[in-house]
Amino acid sequence: MSKELFKTVLYLPSQAAAETEATIVKWHVKPGNSFSKGQNLAEIESAKSTFDFEAPCEGTVINLLFPEGDSAPIESPVIEIETSDESLKNEIPSAGSKKSDFPQMKLKEVNEEKIEPSGIISILGIGSYLPKQVIHNRELLKEHPDITEEYIFGVTGIKERRWAQENEKPSDMAYAASVEAIEKSGLSPNNIDAIIVSTSTPDVVMPSTACILQKKLGIRGTPAFDINAACSGWLYGISMAKGMILSGTAHNVLVSAVDMQSRVLDKKDRNTYFLFGDGAGATIVSSEKKGHKIIREILTADSKGLHMARRDFPGYEVPENSSETDPWMRLDGRALFRFATESFSTMIRNLVIKSGWEVEDVRWVVPHQANARILKAAAQRSGVAFDRFYLNLDRVGNTSSASIPLAISDIEKGLQKKDKIIFCTVGAGITAAGLSLEW
């Protein structure tokens, strides 16, 4: 299959810093001529030397931009060509170049005056995405014939989960959730001033999944970056978005959370294999429109828990020929149970106090969907009745940082204005985060 042809321009090679121009002594090609890589295109004379101008690729001459005998500024292109050499799409002009036909960074126009946020910062438009592929417990028992579906449900509280199709990427899931969030917020992509993506399974190590998402949304000129606070990432992202608004950097910040853990699970590891599902969630944090009012946030991390949840290999896939580094996600189940139970319950109690609420005021606790047994134990210690904890992990599993927005999407139609809601989560790090919200 032939490569696509495209037009581009070529510059003279950089010379000494003091030299600003060179003379075209003789062209060895003319418009319409084909040339090969390394072929001498022209004889060039500068103040200090005479040299051959060699082609960096093969192609066809479209136009000679300077005639023989003329002096060409070093910063100007001298020949227009057509080529299929993709390396020329990223060709860097000479060091002295001031003009370029290559795409330039677009900066979103902002007023010189600092953006002053209103007194209320809200979240708008919850968006979510779940892959279509449903994986039941029975499908995971091939590697574990000594246990049953009932055992898995009894230990985890999970009956089924969604796993991404082979051709899906994390950025695809984040895009679907983000589009829904933007539409439900009543905004357009042009209103988005920044993009934050929480993920521990990015498309690639770099560029960030946030920048890939930015391209999919057709947005340019706004800051975009990833964060990795594991399962706590979405709440970390919301707090960072609020900080950007308070600093005067943005009005509306898209915060998306996406994790594709299905590709990084060791089928033989019972501590992880049955727990995780794939999914994405998103929201807009805004000072521009009234929405669901953010009351208080709590963020923390404790490095004593570094060993409790970890993965030593980057990305959302494990290559067939991976290195000697363990590529799979690993959990210390017993240690996590104790740590997470205490963290959830402490977070809930502190948020109730810091928000000026009573326990009875809480309409819903929407926790990270870690494990049903952990959440039941946390409810007992927090003082909030377990029937006020919303769980959907029986259907979607543990979707890491996407789990809270996915859960909100389930219940938002039944929420009433002024309902008081608590979000709480614990993730690898060990990180923990909580947020109180007035719907």
Q: Which of 137, 228, 252, 398 is catalytic?
A: 398
| Peptide bond between residue 207 and the one before it cis (omega within 30 degrees of 0) | yes
Query: 163: closest CA among 265, 266, 271, 309?
Result: 265
Query: 110: closest CA among 52, 53, 191, 189?
Result: 191
How does pLDDT run across 387-398, given as a tens digit for each residue?
A: 999 999 999 999
Based on the residue annotation, tell me whether 368 is a catalytic residue of this protein. yes
Q: Which of 137, 211, 228, 231 is catalytic?
A: 231
Question: Could you report how far apart the first and last alpha carbons of the chain are, in Å?
Answer: 56
pLDDT band at 344 (very low <50, low <70, confident <90, very high): confident
pLDDT band at 194 (very low <50, low <70, confident <90, very high): very high
Based on the residue annotation, tell me whether 231 is a catalytic residue of this protein. yes
CATH number (3.30.450.40, 3.40.47.10, 3.40.50.2300, 3.40.50.300) of 122-317+329-438 reads 3.40.47.10
How does pLDDT run across 250-300, given as a tens digit for each residue?
A: 999 999 999 998 888 888 888 788 889 999 999 999 998 889 999 999 998
Q: Which of 57, 368, 371, 424 is catalytic?
A: 368
Question: What's the whole-number mean pLDDT along residues 415-426?
Answer: 95
Domain 6-90 is found in CATH 3.30.360.10: no
CB 122 within 8 A of CB 286: yes
What distance in Å separates the CA atoms of residue 125 and residue 285, rounded to the nearest whole number?
9
Tokens for 23? Answer: 């003379």
Instruction: Provide CATH 3.40.47.10 ranges for the chain.
Output: 122-317+329-438
Instruction: Provide CATH 2.40.50.100 ranges for the chain.
Output: 6-90
pTM given for the model: 0.73
How does pLDDT run across 13-54, given as a tens digit for each residue?
A: 766 555 678 899 999 999 999 999 999 999 998 877 888 999
pLDDT band at 114 (very low <50, low <70, confident <90, very high): very low
Based on the residue annotation, tell me whether 251 is a catalytic residue of this protein. no
H/E/C letters for each residue in 52-85? EEECCCCEEEEEECCCCCCEEECCCEEEEEEECC
